[in-house]
Structure 1
């Protein structure tokens, strides 16, 4: 089996990948993550997932490289990482009582052959009605400023949900393990 490399600096993705009990390394890819003009959100996350994997291929030329990217979509608006308290408040107020769809792009690149698999896994969260005091309490407690949509589903953020819908809950955290296992199996990886 070729060694696995996660093209991400995300501790959330590393924790998820560790569930598969396969040895892996990780490295942060350096790519431009800006959206192209009028690029659909699904195409954006697929493109960025593959570009992250490709960015590490020259320095890791005999690896299976996993790339992933995620955006949250509210209506037609893409919600990125808020980075600040004020932006996170704005995102959560807009999401209150609505559904937010998380689109997670996933790529698996065999850097020795150049062959790759790419997909997008959606997951929808129906948000509770949220008022500003509740949002502020949540943000001060969990500080999810590095998370698309302004909450951590693997933490207290789940208290903001009314319901969820999707085929793979791990996609909500940023690495859809069910789809990744499919991709790894196609590359001949034996999953414990």
Structure 2
């Protein structure tokens, strides 16, 4: 993570926390996923000047902390990120902003409540950057592998996971009119 030049002390503490926290997740949402999303988000952020690199980096790093799919009994995913960041020394306003953005990253939450998603995007332009990075990691061979890893971890029949892949591909085609992924760094894998 040598390319990080914002809040290195806070990022180092948050990275250590996320690495330990994500160890309980299956391979579809492990720390390697976080590293890919962080790298993509920082790349995208360089082309979106209306966003804060500091906020984008923290949101990309923390976006799956408190994910409802993995919450332990008694954990409150709606405040977990803000609580953790404050305990690591972040200002309250920054911690609350990162929490708000991270609650908006979920693809399924956006589909369930498009109006809420639009309001969050208007209030926090960093959300679009992190959403795009997270969704790009759900594409291609890595994305398909992650989908099957998640299905296997949840004990889903193979046919159900295959159907989910087909549904996502159909959504992508319909929503993007088949637009490609131009602009990604050529060394990105």
Same fold (TM over 0.5): no
TM-score by length of 1: 0.29
Instruction: Looking at secondary structure, tell me which structure has more strand per residue.
Output: 1
TM-score, with structure 2 as normaliser? 0.29
